[in-house]
Structure 1
Amino acid sequence: MFEAIKKKFSAEGNEPTGSTSKPDISREKSAELFEKAKTLFPGGVNSPVRAFKSVYGTPLFIKKGDGCHLWDADDNEFIDFCCSWGPLILGHNNNKVREKVIEIMQNGMSFGAPTALENELAELILKNNKYIEKIRFVSSGTEAVMSAIRLARGNTKRDKILKFEGCYHGHTDSLLVKAGSGLVTFGETSSAGVPKAFADETIVVALNDKEAVTKAFEDFKDQIAAIIIEPVPANNGLLLQEKDFLQFLREICTQNGTLLIFDEVISGFRIGFEGAAGHYQIKPDIITYGKIIGGGLPVGAYGASAQIMSNISPEGAVYQAGTLSGNPVAMAAGIAQLTELLRIGFYKDLNNKTEEFTTAIQRFATARNYKFKVFTIGSIFWFAFTDQETIHRADEIDAGSMEKFKKMHRELLNRGIYFGPSGYEVGFISAAHTKIDLEKAKRAIFESLEVVFSGK
């Protein structure tokens, strides 16, 4: 009888394992590549978070991905929960995506002219997303957001934008701003090289603060072109918002002739085919999407009603262009990937898999009274070293807790589990994660948490 109970608790992750810290994996080749990279690129990387500044060791240089697995230059193998920062919802090197891309590449890789593939992918999206009527493809999520902001300003003939502290919208100048002191403030530049004049057109308030948003409209009456928000803020932790707050934004925008922009570069096609708009059943005026619509290749898009989109050149006066917009290789990858996402039961299976995984981890931590919380929506999750039941705002995150994540990240790498190299980054489950993969990852997470909280 006792053995049966013991086995049950062990299966649920409730039996202590007495885990100790594991030796660091070899990074010799990655370290050599990084030293060379530092002579070629600023900081040795082409995107700052890759520098591993927030975690231990040098960056891992990846040479191969397949399914939910990655291999680095030292031939270490990992179960990947970064998924190229989210878009690889089918996993790495998916057969159908790869075969479609190879088929199209036989005919050329870039034309700077229209192709039928653009029509096919756009129709696939628009026929299955009731929140937009027309779409424009661009080359990245940042470009999509930049274009959406310009469209909002052109449509409303207003200049000011309201954004939220804790939401990231790419590296466009007018949105690389942070909050100043006070309830409602103009943004302060968060990057050198951003003119103060740009920041002065951006109002920054705290998430989940109706009073601040209301005051902003009082202080800047008839001046705000758009509110932009990640409806699922997932670039600074997973700061889940109540539907009531998002609905409030919809209503106050409508009342003031302001456009509501949902930045769905992460949540779009990830928590459902219609993204957060569909999840919350709230219709924004403009929606932006990222590289998930191109199977992880460099692509983005923004969409809105036919009326709003009619403002874009060559039909309207808002200029936006790009030689690689609608690139045939990216379109091919997108067609293959999104076709799979439309398969009956795809999201139900993926989200159920994620719920089972995250529930088991939370149960393990709760049984040990660890100050640890798993936040999740759809197939997105975030580990926070906190005892708070909800975290809606960036200032509610304990910066000191990132030291615990730093230790956990090292322990996970040493156990063959790959997460983004920052405690503020979220994790993703893909269709390629099997039960065996997830069971192995759970055990590694359990052991890593024991090391973190035991101080070993």
Structure 2
Amino acid sequence: MINPTERKRSESLFERANKHIPGGVNSPVRAFKSVGGTPIFFKKAEGAYLFDEDENRYIDFINSWGPMILGHGFPEVVSAIQKQAETAMSFGAPTELEIELAETICEMTGIDMVRMVNSGTEACMSAIRLARGYTGRNKVIKFEGCYHGHADSFLIKAGSGVSTLGLPNSPGVTSGTAQDTLTAPFNNLAAVEKLIEENPGEIAAIITEPVAGNMGCIPPLEGYMEGLRALCDEHGIVFIMDEVMTGFRLAPGGAQERLGVKADLVCYGKVIGGGMPVGAFGGKREIFDHIAPNGPVYQAGTLSGNPLAVVSGLTTLNYLKDHPETYAQIDHMTERIETGMRELLDKHGFEYRINRLGSMISIHFCDTDVVDFNSAMEGNNDKFKQFFHGMLNEGVYLPPSAFETWFISMTIGESELEHTLYAADRVLQEMKK
């Protein structure tokens, strides 16, 4: 067990960081605002473990929010990055490595073309622009609780009705931008149909996470993704799957393969960089014929296709392609985590729901099914805070928010499973007092 007083260096670093970094962090969820307390500052990672600045060790169930599917410090990936760094760190010009990564992505997913960018936000933002340029339409449908990065078009919330015109959810987002973004509840086809009826011939794209990951893990209900695909076909709408989280994690071909539904455009990130900052968007050739330099829709990035990021991602994808059994292994371990957690939550008498698909999983302290943002908000966040800090003190690092999915890596083995369930048993027992 880790005594919170044994994190003195993290506390001093957070105090120091606040002087020159807004909130002391470079991404808001790291600030522990949702769970309280001081964020942990890390200095080393290896396999299934993180090590903080005070030498405490934690089992990692975040894995850099998804990309470390092979675990931290995977030897083949580290070696490839080191070798590339000795050759060149950046060109700002074409390389053969970019072609190899594009070929690998297209081979594994079945898409026609792919354009590299530097983040998931860029990928989603660019896909929306391309869909608008291709269709000549302006409006986009997104789903409440789905996160597609911090571009203006995506920082929109739903109103009180089943579906409504969006309103800005962040200062700095203009009302004009909001008017072109329509929102509906996740897993609700009827709401989407209503929006399309109310805006005939105006919808350029529907963008969705195939498995939501920013309101906890929320898989699609049966027929939901197929229904979206059919609506897009019927009304000439570009169907965009945001696979930044799910791409190459749920299957070699991502959620498209796992769910058996094809998109027109797909956004990637996380795993395709193997831990390096990277993103990509891809899809049908007829749509990509409209992007610069072949077409009028402009998109660019000085460091897109950076050789360090590309070689890291390429090595990761090649391993997954050559070892497809990795997916069954990770899925099986995540299933055992789910089963063990269910047994413990039942044992200690907690109301809960566990959502899981493949190696994405989340626990919600509530007594109703979690299928969208509103139902996710029904969870008891105070209980989650207790659970989070209890597990943290037991050396298990969970996402510091009730609204984030856990990501399991292939380095989670029997000892990590045993420790996690032992820790959860102790924590849940303490929470009952």
Range of TM-score over shorter length? over 0.9
Aligned runs of 1:362-377 on 2, under 5 Å? Answer: 362-377=342-357
Q: Which has the larger displacement, 398-407 or 132-141? A: 398-407
Aligned to 1:127: 107
Matches of 2:277 and 2:324 in 1, distance apart? 27
Aligned to 2:12: 32
Aligned runs of 1:50-449 on 2, under 5 Å? Answer: 50-130=30-110, 132-342=111-321, 343-388=323-368, 390-399=369-378, 401-449=380-428
Opposite residue 290 of structure 1, the aligned amino acid is G
> Residue 4 of structure 2: SS of its match in structure 1?
coil
Aligned-pair CA distance for 1:445: 1.5
2:348–2:428 CA contact under 8 A, matched in 1: no
Aligned-pair CA distance for 1:181: 2.5
Matches of 1:238 and 1:84 in 2, distance apart? 16
Matches of 1:379 and 1:418 in 2, distance apart? 16
Opposite residue 106 of structure 2, the aligned amino acid is L
Opposite residue 106 of structure 1, the aligned amino acid is E
Opposite residue 152 of structure 2, the aligned amino acid is D
Structure 2 unmatched ranges of 5 or more:
none
- TM-score of the aligned structures, taking structure 2 as reference length: 0.97
2:215–2:376 CA contact under 8 A, matched in 1: no
> Residue 228 of structure 1: SS of its match in structure 2?
strand
Matches of 1:399 and 1:297 in 2, distance apart? 35
Q: How much identity, in percent, do the aligned residues show? A: 44
1:25–1:413 CA contact under 8 A, matched in 2: no
Matches of 1:162 and 1:53 in 2, distance apart? 29
Aligned-pair CA distance for 1:397: 2.2
Opposite residue 140 of structure 1, the aligned amino acid is S
Matches of 1:168 and 1:312 in 2, distance apart? 24
Opposite residue 137 of structure 2, the aligned amino acid is R
Opposite residue 448 of structure 1, the aligned amino acid is V
> Residue 59 of structure 2: SS of its match in structure 1?
strand
2:226–2:261 CA contact under 8 A, matched in 1: yes
Opposite residue 44 of structure 1, the aligned amino acid is G
Q: Which has the larger displacement, 251-260 or 397-406? A: 397-406
Post-superposition Cα deviations, 1:61-104, rounded to whole Å, max 9, x if no partner, equal 11000001001111111001010011110111111100000011
Post-superposition Cα deviations, 1:361-401, rounded to whole Å, max 9, x if no partner, equal 1122223432122211111110111233x311110124460
Q: Which runs of 4+ in 1 moved over 3 A?
A: none
Matches of 2:362 and 2:341 in 1, distance apart? 11
1:239–1:394 CA contact under 8 A, matched in 2: no
2:246–2:255 CA contact under 8 A, matched in 1: yes
Matches of 2:263 and 2:360 in 1, distance apart? 22
Aligned-pair CA distance for 1:258: 0.4
Opposite residue 392 of structure 2, the aligned amino acid is L
Matches of 1:387 and 1:69 in 2, distance apart? 32
Matches of 2:205 and 2:262 in 1, distance apart? 14
Aligned-pair CA distance for 1:351: 0.7
Post-superposition Cα deviations, 1:156-191, rounded to whole Å, max 9, x if no partner, equal 000000011111110000111001232331111111
Opposite residue 254 of structure 1, the aligned amino acid is D
**Bigger radius of gyration:** 1
Aligned-pair CA distance for 1:22: 7.7
CA shift in 2, pair 1:188/1:311, >3 Å? same
Matches of 2:289 and 2:121 in 1, distance apart? 21
- TM-score of the aligned structures, taking structure 1 as reference length: 0.92
Matches of 2:232 and 2:402 in 1, distance apart? 33
Aligned to 1:15: none
Aligned-pair CA distance for 1:329: 0.2
Q: Which has the larger displacement, 268-277 or 398-407? A: 398-407
1:260–1:284 CA contact under 8 A, matched in 2: yes
Aligned-pair CA distance for 1:154: 0.5
Matches of 1:181 and 1:373 in 2, distance apart? 25
> Residue 114 of structure 2: SS of its match in structure 1?
strand
Count of residues in Structure 1 that have an aligned counterpart in Structure 2 = 432
Matches of 1:399 and 1:121 in 2, distance apart? 42
> Residue 362 of structure 2: SS of its match in structure 1?
strand
Matches of 2:315 and 2:371 in 1, distance apart? 35
2:344–2:424 CA contact under 8 A, matched in 1: no
Q: Which has the larger displacement, 310-319 or 52-61? A: 52-61
Structure 1 unmatched ranges of 5 or more:
1-20
2:43–2:52 CA contact under 8 A, matched in 1: yes
Aligned-pair CA distance for 1:272: 0.7
